Amino acid sequence: MKVRIGVIGTGAIAKYRHLPEYASRKDVEIVAVCDIDKAKADKVALRFDVGQVYTDYKEMLEKEKLDAVSVCLPNYLHAEVTIYALNRGLHVLVEKPMATSLKEADAMIDTAKKNNLVLMVGQNQRLAPLHVLAKKVIDSGMLGKVNTFRTVFGHQGPEHWSPSAKWFFDKEKAFAGSLADLGVHKVDLIQYLLADIDEVACFSAIMEKKNCTVDDNSVAIVHMKNGVIGTVETSWTYKPKEENGTVFFCEKGTLKMAVEPDAPLVAYFNEPGKGRLVFEVPKIQTNEEGGQFSSGVIDSFIDTINGKIQNPIPGSEGRKALRAILACIESNTSKSKVRVEEVK
């Protein structure tokens, strides 16, 4: 039996990620799409051969017999729509960051648990084959313990990815800028690969973006619970190409992920004679033209609904990433270090 899907919000993330990945699966039927901009929704529906178009998500959920929905809306709407859908008995895949506050995140998690439904957060970087293999390399100990790291995610800005999405620059709707858009990916990835973040010191600024009330650049120094220290850099002003790489500096060498053009994952060893080891693995997914491939998020969501796998990115993991970002925001505001566990 096919999983009947509705997609709420038809912006870039739905058009380039959710809808094509749902459409690629034979066990999924995209029943309906919803967007307050009907012309945009109509165009997407035509492209993906979706029969029903709505401008009110509540009407869609009431009229259509669905099993699950993707919530692809501005950040401030994630909690409201997710909770409504869960209370209608639907599984939910919500885009990152899952919410704009811990209170919202907790309400989403509690509602999913109460209704015994899948709540998954679109933190796709931990699902990339490159990063899955990197975790195995780190955990194997072949490079010894990780001492420090540097991770970067930057591009020219969301206006180049989703030109009509002005909400990215509005603090009331986005709650943060490059931190919420890109940093949430990197803190989730680092916590997946290493350990939970214990403490942060963050500096954020608006360097270039006009009419912007959120950060377009941020640099956070993070201290992990296992003692590792590193930096998380995010930017909406990297030109002309994006950066999305991570380097781990270890006891016995260095591990580079998505840094070298010819080697998505490569290890350098201190030991004489070992030199450079390139791992066979696909490149990381990119927003750049020609760089699209399956994120793994949709496959994981459907396979979780069907009971084939355990949810790889449940609400609790989305909350953990959100909390680290909130700590970064608090650190920048207070001009002091912030313990993640003290963020409310």
pLDDT in tens, 285-335: 665 544 455 799 999 999 999 999 999 999 999 999 999 999 999 999 999
Close Cβ partners of 48 (under 8 Å, ≥ 6 residues apart): 19, 20, 23, 30, 33
Helix-, strand-, coil-residue percentages of the chain, each rounded to 5 = 40, 25, 35
How far apart are the C-alpha atoms of 133 and 79, rounded to whole Å? 32
Q: Is 318:123 a contact under the CB 8 Å cutoff?
A: yes
> What's the fold here for domain 3-123?
Rossmann fold (3.40.50)
Alpha helices in the chain (DSSP H): 12-13, 19-23, 38-47, 57-63, 78-87, 102-115, 129-140, 158-161, 171-174, 178, 184-193, 297-305, 315-334
Mean of the per-residue pLDDT values of the chain: 96
How far apart are the C-alpha atoms of 189 and 222, rounded to whole Å? 13
How far apart are the C-alpha atoms of 9 and 274, rounded to whole Å? 50
Q: Beta-carbon neighbour count of residue 223 at 10 Å?
A: 17
pLDDT in tens, 77-125: 999 999 999 999 999 999 999 999 999 999 999 999 999 999 999 999 9
Question: Is pLDDT at 213 greater than 70 in this prediction?
Answer: yes
pLDDT in tens, 123-134: 999 999 999 999
- Enumerate the CATH 3.40.50.720 domain ranges in the chain, comma separated: 3-123
- Enumerate the CATH 3.30.360.10 domain ranges in the chain, comma separated: 125-288+313-342
> What's the fold here for domain 125-288+313-342?
Dihydrodipicolinate Reductase; domain 2 (3.30.360)
**pTM metric for this prediction:** 0.96
Taking Cα atoms as reference points, which of 317, 310, 313 lies closest to residue 297?
A: 313
Q: Reduced to 3 states, what is the DSSP secondary structure of residue 36?
A: coil
The whole-number pLDDT of residue 284 equals 75
